[in-house]
A and B are shown apart, each in its own frame.
Chain A
Amino acid sequence: MELFKNTQIDFLGKQKYFIGLSLILLAIAIGSWAAKGGLKYGIDFTGGANINVRFASAPPIDRIRSAISARIPGEISVQEVTGENEVIIGLPLKEDSALQRERESVVETLNTTFGEKTDRLDLNNANPQALAERLREPLQRASIPMNDEQLAQLARRIFDFRNTPPRSGVLSSFDQLKEVEGVTPQILEVIRQQCYLAPFTIRGAEVIGPKIGAEMRNKAVLAVLYALGGMLVYLAFRFEFVYGLAAVIAVFHDVIITLGFFSLTDKEISLNVIAALLTLVGYSMNDTIVVFDRIRETLKLSRRELTPKIVNDSINQTLSRTVLTSGLTFISALALLLFGGPVLNGFSSALVVGVIVGTYSSIFIASPILVFWHEKFQKGKRAAAPASAR
């Protein structure tokens, strides 16, 4: 199979349209950025707390919000994870000690609002050791013989069962436990007496104090700039300075547009997104390098100087390569976006958008810059010293 056979597209002839398009995209990106008062950063960078809570059925968002608002001053967010009975409760930036206190008070509020006021053990929010300890005596009283080892194993199996999907941490009824190996009807009866099932479980929490947030923000900006600088140096070393410059401008363009996409769609910039951006800085370079390599090769063979035609031919000759490699990475990134779950959503969105923009920019941005530079500066040199050229 072949997709591109001997293409003769005049890319450089249409460069003003594409440069125009890029400028418009950049303007939209920066405009949206400015209109929204900056990018929306995740708690990795702002500081704050996110608590993942999974419910046994559809979560009562309003009740959660009002219960927590009553306890904690300031703005809180309760965000539903689509397709799951799960919410993420977000607390905004506070001072370090206050954040930790409020994180605990969210858990407490959930317990008092949705839990039972008994001294039975909440199986959905306990740990295996606590369950084993809780059951030891009642099992003895019910004359079900079990040594500590067996009891610990039973508790572990019950929790492993609870944690695997589709339960994913929440049991909705004790009858579900019948499936667990070793849970006899008698044991189940004891569990029923000693435990209860709160309709929710706390699956995870992330608390980041303002100090660490600020530190990460600093590092994120530096890391992206260093990476761009690193690219410039490497390409200048492997090719010529102008090649490095053209490639870095193209990649910078990709980063801005990708960030613009995040701003437009109100997606948060998290540490994972920065990881994706840095990967992108390297990856978006790949297509550019493929084209530049070809230009360099042609120049060596023909012993001529750079002309728009050589650049255009090189783009055409490498077109199938450029499109295929990007396409394959795009497939991987898309699979990750569609199936990789909410935690990696930002990461894979950045890559999906970035791979497209990166491919586009290596054809329509990096190469025209090369030609532009050459016509502007190299030609001038030749005119100034015509004798040596002859």
Chain B
Amino acid sequence: MKSLKWKAALIVAITLGCLYGVIGLPKSKDELAANWNKNIRLGLDLRGGSLLVVQVQLQDAFKVEANTQIERLKEELGKQSIAYASIDHNDPQTLAEADQIAIQVRGIPAEKSQLFRNIIAELLPSWVLTPLSSTDYRLTLKPTEALQIKEDTITRAITTIESRINGLGLAEASVQRRGGAGSEAEILISLPGLDDPARVKNILQTAALLELYEVKDGPFPRQEDALAKLGGVLPLNTKLMRSAPRPGDPAGEGWYLVARTPVITGRDLRDARPAQDEFGKWETAFVLSQESKGRFGRFTEANVGNRLAIALDNQIRSAPVIQSRIEDQGRITGAASHQEASDLALVLRAGSLPAGVVYLQEQTVGPSLGADSIRKGLIAGAVGLVLVVAFMLAYYAGAGINAVVALVLNGVILIGCLAYLEAVLTLPGIAGIILLIGMAVDSNVLIFERIREEIRAGKATLAAIDTGFSKAFLTIIDTHVATVVSCAFLFMFGTPAIRGFAVTLVIGLVANVFTSVFVSRALFQFSVARQGFNPRISIGI
């Protein structure tokens, strides 16, 4: 009797503990619903949202690194008056080729070769110098250095993406490395509860590389026109840049000849905000940092009357004429809405991505699709539950009630564990719960059939219950372990939805061992203990 009391206390405590984990101590119906929503985390396939996998184009970062070093080298060679024919880098196109980056130096006078080597050793210690001939050299990146750049680039990309997403105020967004073999450069972005994925994709895709250029000539309607006017060759240190047509912009596409190096880049930015011009049109205003202020002021003063190109991600957004000296402010015009202007301000503030990104995967579930899935899951679950309960009651009579109590408790413990473990409920997870309804009563069927068999063989009720449970126990463990082992391999996939299924099923099965063996047995013991001498149980025979 004493042990029965302990069992009852344990069962009640676990039930209450699980219920508390799910609904807390609600004082009203609203509070109950709020607690439920807080404790049961829905995956983004149910509540709506986006999951994105992006690949960081590391080769971009390598090219930037090579460019920076080339500029430094040119400057140093100029100081030391060493002549050279050309210095340039190769152009790796894919991620796999990224660390094949190399700098070619041609035409160093043979007599200066020792001096040149010294300069390289001092200036570019992370590069390996290989002579190709008496005047030409090739510089390749040291493997440890290449690895370092890769790591830095990915970390910076993650930080940048994080700060951009945080600016949107999405509470539960997460940005992490995807992990796994061959996916070092991949980032998994999870955005639950997102209303408008197109907007986020825009925000992520924008490299947000802001550059202000001195305009040398233009605009030209087409690239060919520009080349024709220039006699087919671009003047030294200039480049042609396209200006993108903006929606509602009458100017349309055009080409400008601009100075090769920008006057100002995004790094010189201190702040950016959405603003409205005198006609109420939206634009993004930016303020330059203290250091670049003087430079920009001198430049604009010298170029009054000329055009200044404001380029974003290598496309000119606008090319206004400089009216007077500008100290530290500028604006990017042509936003279609307040949202667009503030999004641009957001990415400018968060800084530019160190390399471009390519989308490898997108899963977007609109809120209405998620709501449909939940509703259908509930209907299917209700139908399954009613059928299974009806069958158990009809087939096993009194013992059927026992099984149903165990089943309900199984569900309560499962939901409670999901809440305590902060596991995420996904659509496949709901499917797992529905499947569990059938699987959970399986254990009871195994036990009840065994008890029936023992009763038929003439055993007394108490002995039949004991044998039934102890004999079925090992079988239940075996069957459950088999299912858990096979489900464990689902974790390999790493997709959140499937992971949700595996977690749900495993928790449900473990809870099932407790409810179908321990709880169900205790329930029999209660009913037997109340009957006194020569007890009987109702088990449908």
Could you say which residues of chain A place their CB within 8 Å of the CB of B481?
Answer: 234
Could you say which residues of chain A place their CB within 8 Å of the CB of B427?
Answer: 343-344
The answer to whether A328 and B438 have CB atoms under 8 Å apart is yes
The answer to whether B428 and A275 have CB atoms under 8 Å apart is yes
> Who on chain A is nearest to B439 by CB?
A329
Q: Mark A98-123, 1 if CB is under 8 A from B, else 0.
A: 01100110010000000000000000
Give chain B's interface residue range (CB within 8 Å of chain A).
35 or more
A211–B195 alpha-carbon span in the complex (Å): 27
The answer to whether B196 and A286 have CB atoms under 8 Å apart is no
The answer to whether A282 and B483 have CB atoms under 8 Å apart is yes
> Who on chain B is nearest to A347 by CB?
B431
A320–B453 alpha-carbon span in the complex (Å): 11
Q: How far is the CB of A201 from chain B (nearest CB, A)?
A: 7
The answer to whether B366 and A283 have CB atoms under 8 Å apart is no
Please tell me if B363 contacts chain A, counting CB pairs below 8 Å: yes
Please tell me if B375 contacts chain A, counting CB pairs below 8 Å: yes
Could you say which residues of chain B place their CB within 8 Å of the CB of A167?
Answer: 368
Could you say which residues of chain A place their CB within 8 Å of the CB of B377?
Answer: 340-341, 344
Please tell me if A162 contacts chain B, counting CB pairs below 8 Å: yes
Question: B372: which of A274, A330, A341 is its contact (CB, 8 Å)?
Answer: A341
Q: Mark B356-368, 1 if CB is under 8 A from A, else 0.
A: 0011111111111
Interface stretch of the complex, out of A18-26, A64-72, A216-224, A366-374: A216-224
Given contacts A163-B367, A340-B376, contact A331 B483 (CB under 8 A): no
The answer to whether B369 and A203 have CB atoms under 8 Å apart is yes
Could you say which residues of chain A place their CB within 8 Å of the CB of B132?
Answer: none
Could you say which residues of chain B place their CB within 8 Å of the CB of A127?
Answer: 195-196, 199
The answer to whether B485 and A341 have CB atoms under 8 Å apart is no
A208–B52 alpha-carbon span in the complex (Å): 10
Please tell me if A339 contacts chain B, counting CB pairs below 8 Å: yes
Interface stretch of the complex, out of B7-15, B255-263, B345-353, B387-395: B387-395
The answer to whether B541 and A335 have CB atoms under 8 Å apart is no
Question: B485: which of A126, A230, A318 is its contact (CB, 8 Å)?
Answer: A230
> Who on chain A is nearest to B195 by CB?
A127
Q: How far is the CB of B376 from chain A (nearest CB, A)?
A: 4
Q: How far is the CB of A289 from chain B (nearest CB, A)?
A: 5
Among B391, B438, B475: residue with most chain A CB under 10 A: B438
Which chain A residues in 277-301 approach chain B with CB under 8 Å?
Answer: 278-279, 281-283, 285-286, 289-290, 293, 297
The answer to whether A335 and B381 have CB atoms under 8 Å apart is yes
The answer to whether B199 and A282 have CB atoms under 8 Å apart is no
Give chain A's interface residue range (CB within 8 Å of chain B).
35 or more
Please tell me if B523 contacts chain A, counting CB pairs below 8 Å: no
Please tell me if B68 contacts chain A, counting CB pairs below 8 Å: no
Please tell me if B53 contacts chain A, counting CB pairs below 8 Å: yes
A52–B197 alpha-carbon span in the complex (Å): 14
The answer to whether A293 and B478 have CB atoms under 8 Å apart is yes
Which chain A residues in 350-367 approach chain B with CB under 8 Å?
Answer: 351
A129–B340 alpha-carbon span in the complex (Å): 12
The answer to whether B485 and A282 have CB atoms under 8 Å apart is yes
The answer to whether B388 and A331 have CB atoms under 8 Å apart is yes
A344–B338 alpha-carbon span in the complex (Å): 40
The answer to whether B493 and A234 have CB atoms under 8 Å apart is no
A336–B383 alpha-carbon span in the complex (Å): 9
Q: Mark A63-99, 1 if CB is under 8 A from B, else 0.
A: 0000000000000000000000000000000001101
Could you say which residues of chain A place their CB within 8 Å of the CB of B182?
Answer: 215
Please tell me if B441 contacts chain A, counting CB pairs below 8 Å: yes
The answer to whether B359 and A168 have CB atoms under 8 Å apart is no
Q: How far is the CB of B300 from chain A (nearest CB, A)?
A: 34
Given contacts A203-B366, A328-B388, A329-B439, contact A165 B375 (CB under 8 A): yes
Could you say which residues of chain A place their CB within 8 Å of the CB of B485?
Answer: 227, 230-231, 234, 282
Please tell me if B421 contacts chain A, counting CB pairs below 8 Å: no
The answer to whether A222 and B486 have CB atoms under 8 Å apart is no
Could you say which residues of chain B place their CB within 8 Å of the CB of A238?
Answer: 478
Could you say which residues of chain B place their CB within 8 Å of the CB of A351?
Answer: 435
Question: B428: which of A224, A325, A335, A347 is its contact (CB, 8 Å)?
Answer: A347
Question: B489: which of A52, A278, A341 is its contact (CB, 8 Å)?
Answer: A278
A333–B434 alpha-carbon span in the complex (Å): 8
Question: B490: which of A3, A275, A336, A339 is its contact (CB, 8 Å)?
Answer: A275
Q: Mark B420-461, 1 if CB is under 8 A from A, else 0.
A: 000000011001001111110110011001001100000000
Q: How far is the CB of A2 from chain B (nearest CB, A)?
A: 6
A276–B137 alpha-carbon span in the complex (Å): 60
Please tell me if B498 contacts chain A, counting CB pairs below 8 Å: yes
> Who on chain B is nearest to A340 by CB?
B380
Could you say which residues of chain A place their CB within 8 Å of the CB of B358?
Answer: 96-97, 100
Given contacts A1-B395, A289-B478, contact A219 B372 (CB under 8 A): no
Please tell me if B120 contacts chain A, counting CB pairs below 8 Å: no
> Who on chain A is nearest to B450 by CB?
A321
Could you say which residues of chain A place their CB within 8 Å of the CB of B338?
Answer: 133
Question: A100: which of B359, B394, B474, B484 is its contact (CB, 8 Å)?
Answer: B359
Please tell me if A241 contacts chain B, counting CB pairs below 8 Å: no
Please tell me if A348 contacts chain B, counting CB pairs below 8 Å: yes
**Closest 7 pairs between A and B when the two form their complex, measured CB to CB:** A282-B483, A332-B438, A169-B368, A329-B438, A335-B384, A282-B486, A341-B376
14 A-B contact pairs sorted by A residue (CB < 8 Å): A1-B395, A162-B368, A163-B367, A168-B371, A204-B369, A275-B428, A275-B502, A329-B435, A331-B387, A332-B384, A332-B388, A332-B436, A332-B439, A339-B383
- B→A interface (CB under 8 Å): 53, 55, 180, 182-183, 195-199, 337-339, 358-369, 371-373, 375-377, 379-381, 383-384, 387-388, 391, 394-397, 427-428, 431, 434-439, 441-442, 445-446, 449, 452-453, 471, 474-475, 478-479, 481-490, 492-493, 495, 497-498, 501-502, 505, 540-541
